[in-house]
Amino acid sequence: MPVVAIKDYKGEVKDKVENFHGNQLVYLHWEDHLSFCAPLAFPLPPEMPFGAILGEILPTYYGMHPDWENVDLAEARWTLDDEDFQPDPEKSLKDLGVGHKSVLRFWTPGLKGYRGSQS
């Protein structure tokens, strides 16, 4: 039963993609760096090239971490919605299969947070 209700009831889908003015939600998470308390949420255009995530979004929002200067994104390992993922900076989010509310997690080899604490 999708909901216990007194009559047939349809909930309003508050976060359908149409509500985001042409954007879709994408969640990014840098593994082993939990000083960032949670994955980050962004409204991004589906046509945006993945390179904008690599070149603009990640440095802007993760760049203050002392590990960031040692990050080599070419070496990073990625998953997209729990599947292994090879990002292509030239391709758009849409073409890479990054959908509304997709989760992108990345691991940067050798970097395990402040003094190796996963923070």
Partner 1 sequence: MAANGKAKRLGMKQRYQMLTRHLDWETSYQPMDKVFPYDKFEGIKIKDWDGWEDPFRLTMDTYWKFQAEKERKLYAVIDSFAQNNGQLGLTDARYMNAAKLFLQGVTPLEYAAHRHFAHIGRHLRGGGARVAAQMQSIDELRHAQTQVHTLSHYNRYFDGFHDFHHMHDRVWYLSVPKSFFDDAVTAGPFEFITSISFSFEYVLTNLLFVPFMSGAAYNGDLATVTFGFSAQSDESRHMTLGLEVVKFLLEQHEDNVPIVQGWLDKWFWRGYRLLGLVAMLQDYMLPKKVMSWKEAWEVYYEEQGSALFEDLSRYGLRPPLHQEDAIKEKDRISHEVWGTFYNYTHAAAFHTWDVDDEHLDWLSEKYPDTFDKYYRPRYMMWREMAEQGKRFYNNALPQLCNVCQIPMVFTEPDDPGVICFRRSEYNGDTYHTCSAGCKHIFDNEPEKYVQSWLPVHQIYQGNCGGASVEDVLKWYHMNLGADNMDYHGSPEEKMWSEWMAGRHAEQVEYPPVKAAE
8 Å CB contact between 74 and 88: no
Residue 27 lies near partner 1 (rule: CB under 8 A)? yes
CB closer to partner 1, 10 vs 90: 10
Residue 29 lies near partner 1 (rule: CB under 8 A)? yes
Which residues, including other chains, have CB under 8 Å from residue 27's CB and lie 6 or more apart? 39, 40, 41, 42, 101, 102, 103, 104
- Segment lying near partner 1 (by CB under 8 A), choices 46-54, 69-77, 84-92, 96-104: 96-104
Residue 55 lies near partner 1 (rule: CB under 8 A)? no
Given 22, 55, 89, 118, the residue binding partner 1 (CB under 8 A): 118
> Which residues here bind partner 1, judged by CB under 8 A?
1-6, 9-16, 19-21, 23, 25, 27, 29, 31-32, 34-43, 60-61, 64, 66, 81-82, 99-103, 105, 113-115, 117-119
